[in-house]
A and B are shown apart, each in its own frame.
Chain A
Amino acid sequence: DTGVSQDPRHKITKRGQNVTFRCDPISEHNRLYWYRQTLGQGPEFLTYFQNEAQLEKSRLLSDRFSAERPKGSFSTLEIQRTEQGDSAMYLCASSFGTSGGSYNEQFFGPGTRLTVL
């Protein structure tokens, strides 16, 4: 399967703990996105990478959140000192885009469901 993969699929943690999620995009895709989705709502944008550069961050991404894409391939999203409000589905997507901002189809992974107790 050459789609977007995410790990883990489910994570249960206690408030105050740190968690890290991983996303492996489609191999030829240079753009990678993180979104967060709560029950009954559409996804909310968190951050965007083109290759290894983090080009855009939402105001939703507080200081407790950090994302990396060190070699322009896989990405990690870390949440420090988790809070109950962080409970959500964390979705990763990838696409191929050329410079100049052209937009191409985004493909999503299965998501990581985080529950903070």
Chain B
Amino acid sequence: KQEVTQIPAALSVPEGENLVLNCSFTDSAIYNLQWFRQDHGKGLTSLLLIQSSQREQTSGRLNASLDKSSGRSTLYIAASQPGDSATYLCAPPGNYQLIWGAGTKLIIKP
């Protein structure tokens, strides 16, 4: 059974810092992994989908890496901005559904 852990659970940093959010999963037999952003009380926005054949995927200031063998993915946010404040969730797939961690709540202070 796939289990997902995200560390840290919460993070508060000043604007401009580079950040790394960590995601670990127990079953490495995955096709790919998605990273999402969720603003408070809102739905989920897909940020990046990284395939199992890829080691990295980039979108703007975001870079996601995937190491299946160690069961880890990281989301790197460069030059953080107050608008990046949200909860970030990683989700590897199960049989068809996504399996979720509890997320990392990120606060970027101006």
Contact = CB atoms under 8 A, between A and B. Distances in A.
Interface string A77-117: 00000000000010101000100011101111111010000
Kindly state the interface size class of chain B when it binds its partner: 20 to 34
Given A93-B44, A106-B98, 18 more contacts: A33-B96, A40-B102, A41-B102, A42-B4, A43-B44, A44-B100, A45-B94, A45-B97, A55-B96, A56-B97, A91-B43, A101-B96, A102-B31, A105-B46, A106-B46, A110-B43, A111-B42, A111-B43
Interface residues of A, number: 28
Interface string A15-43: 00000000000000001010100001111
Interface of B: 4, 31-32, 34, 36, 41-46, 49, 89, 91, 93-103
Given A42-B89, A109-B43, A31 B100 contact: no
